[in-house]
Amino acid sequence: MADKIHFDLVSPERLLISEDAEMVTVPGADGYFGAMAGHEPLISTLRPGMIDVKNGEDGDERYFIRGGFAEVNATNITVLAEEAIPMAEFDIAVLDQRIKDLEEDLVAAKDDAERARINDNLNDMRLVRAAF
């Protein structure tokens, strides 16, 4: 049996998962990265995207997150997500509405900094939508 890393996924509402897995892939600010047992210590901000849990106690699982932070060390990965939804409970209509709302926000943006921030969020949401 391969070494496993302990994974905790926490949203403001609840602890979604706390189990051992072979690998956890998260959407870091600079791109997706995988964490396995023995990983070097790391703290990263997260962007909206998918978390993939490989060979956890309940098999492979996926979660949608909307930003947050990840802390990784040799034995644990903890994700504190702004929002987290198990893919089994995910509603595509909600994602489509978020994309529409961001498109409207982009048109109404007051300055370049706000426009850039909204555009980044919109691009992230479109990537998530393309995964379906």
Q: Is the pLDDT of residue 18 over 90?
A: yes
Can you give the pLDDT at residue 111? 94
Are residue 79 and residue 117 in the same domain, yes or no?
no
Same domain, 13 and 59: yes
The answer to whether 65 and 49 have CB atoms below 8 angstroms apart is yes
Work out the pLDDT band at 2, boundaries 50, 70, 90: low
Question: For the chain, how many structural domains are there in total?
Answer: 2
Q: Check residue 68 and give left, alpha or beta (phi > 0: left; psi -120 to 50: alpha).
A: left
Decide if 13 contacts 48 (C-beta within 8 A). no
List pLDDT tens digits, range 54-91.
Answer: 987 778 899 989 889 999 999 999 999 998 988 888 78
Query: How far is residue 118's CA from residue 28's CA, in Å, rounded to a whole number?
Result: 18
Shared-domain flag, residues 55 and 77: yes
Same domain (yes/no): 63, 23: yes
Identify whether residues 28 and 78 lie together within a single domain: yes
Average pLDDT over residues 34-55: 94
Query: What is the pTM (predicted TM-score) of this model?
Result: 0.77
Asked whether residue 16 falls in the same domain as residue 76, the answer is: yes
